[in-house]
Structure 1
Amino acid sequence: MTEENKHVEESTVTEETAVEETVVESEEETVDETIEQTETDAKKDELAELKAANAALEDRALRLQAEISNMQRTNARDRQNAAKYRSQSLATNLLEVVDNFERALTTEVTSDDALTLKKGIEMVHGQLLSALEREKVTMIDPLNEPFDPNFHQAVSTMPAEEGQATDVVVNVLQKGYQLDDRVIRPAMVIVSA
């Protein structure tokens, strides 16, 4: 082998080695780029997951705040109603007493002792009505007013007299009462038909 052939052979080997090294370096760079791309994609996926979890937590926090606010409003309204209608049970129980006083006052008396007793009953009846009014319990006495099923309970009807409108209260059998805007006992009435 001549020097020249040796040189050519070495040159060929060197070129082949250089080409192989370039291919290996190129493959290593591709692998490195792939690894970097995979790591970047993994970080992007993790970031997207964290953002989605954060958005879900923020939504849940807003919903819980709204629920707490609704509960507070409901609780405040319930407390106001409890204070507003605290007298309802007592007033309902006392209405029978008022009815009995009114029945007693319709009795005709002639003796002085009976008149004195009736006067005492009138005073107690007045005090009881005043106490109920202070608690915002008011009487529903709908005589000659249009029938309203929200405030009246019709127990009977009567034919309307000439010139009289229909659906008008013509007789009150039992007065009704309301506490503020709540009816605690509707008036029992007879209505014209």
Structure 2
Amino acid sequence: MEEKDTTQEESKLMDDIDINSDDSIPGTSHLSETMTDENEVTKIKAELQEQKDKYLRLVAEFDNFKRRNAKERIELIQTAGKEVITSMLDVLDDCDRAEKQMQTTTDLAQIKEGVQLVFNKLRNTLQSKGLKAMESINTEFDVEKHEAITEIPAPTPDLKGKVVDEVTKGYYLNDKLIRFAKVIVGK
């Protein structure tokens, strides 16, 4: 009887384990997971290819932007002075008229007056374009604005370390220094 009980117990254990699977239950669940992994890999590869394509297009677009920007910059540099030159043509015309007048007239006062008008027109035209002369005489010497040509003994004690004379004027264009003033400093 013990043998029978052992056989019954073994049979009961075998029924719990169920070695023989049912036809309706797929026995290849790991194979279907592989299919899912393959689909995910394919999907990831497609996304990677899409990102690569976007990256290449972006790089190409940026290269085109750089080329276009460089071309525009060259054109701007070449034509930047056009407005100033155009406004200076009136002054040039006045210079030509003054030169003709100097050749035919002997009245020195009239020649001086004409030349002074041309100089004033030149200054006004340049000021209208943003040019401004730097005031340096009797100001403290500043290495950010002045270039010292030489030092001389100060005529008065209060001019020590100050600009005594200007050799060449300094200029600002729209409040930006474009030329240092060459000056003589008192010591």
TM-score by length of 1: 0.52
- Say if 2:84 and 2:129, in contact at 8 Å, map to a contact too: no
Distance 1:50 1:188 in 2: 68
SS at the partner of 1:173? Answer: strand
- Say if 2:149 and 2:182, in contact at 8 Å, map to a contact too: yes
Counterpart selection for 1:121 from 115, 124, 135: 115
- Say if 1:147 and 1:168, in contact at 8 Å, map to a contact too: yes
Give the superposition deviation at 1:48.
Answer: 3.3
Q: Report what 2:34 is aligned to.
A: 38
Q: Report what 1:107 is aligned to.
A: none
Distance 1:127 1:89 in 2: 14
Distance 2:121 2:20 in 1: 110
Q: Report what 1:152 is aligned to.
A: 146
Instruction: Out of 52-61 and 152-161, give the one that drifted further.
Output: 52-61
Q: Report what 1:138 is aligned to.
A: 132
SS at the partner of 2:158? Answer: coil
Distance 1:90 1:142 in 2: 30
Closer, same or farther: CA 122–55 of 1 in aligned 2, 3 Å: same
- Say if 2:21 and 2:27, in contact at 8 Å, map to a contact too: no
**Structure 2 portions without partners, runs of 5+:** 1-17, 88-105
1:189 aligns with 2:179: no
Q: Deviations over 1:73-126 (max 9, x none)?
A: 9999999998886667899xxxxxxxxxxxxxxxxxxxx932332222222211
Closer, same or farther: CA 179–146 of 1 in aligned 2, 3 Å: same
1:163 aligns with 2:157: yes
In structure 1, give the amino acid aligned to 2:42: E
Distance 2:162 2:76 in 1: 36
In structure 2, give the amino acid aligned to 1:135: K
- Say if 1:88 and 1:179, in contact at 8 Å, map to a contact too: no
In structure 2, give the amino acid aligned to 1:122: Q
Instruction: Out of 36-45 and 178-187, give the one that drifted further.
Output: 178-187
Q: Report what 1:176 is aligned to.
A: 170
Q: Deviations over 1:4-56 (max 9, x none)?
A: xxxxxxxxxxxxxxxxxx97868xx7773332122112112223334455556
Equivalent pairs, count: 152
Closer, same or farther: CA 135–65 of 1 in aligned 2, 3 Å: same
Which of the two has higher C-alpha Rg?
1
Give the superposition deviation at 1:171.
Answer: 0.5
Distance 1:135 1:44 in 2: 66
CA RMSD of aligned residues (A): 4.8
In structure 2, give the amino acid aligned to 1:180: N
Q: Where does 1:71-90 land on structure 2 (aligned, <5 Å)?
A: none
Distance 1:56 1:150 in 2: 51
SS at the partner of 1:171? Answer: strand
Q: Percent of aligned pairs with the same residue? A: 21
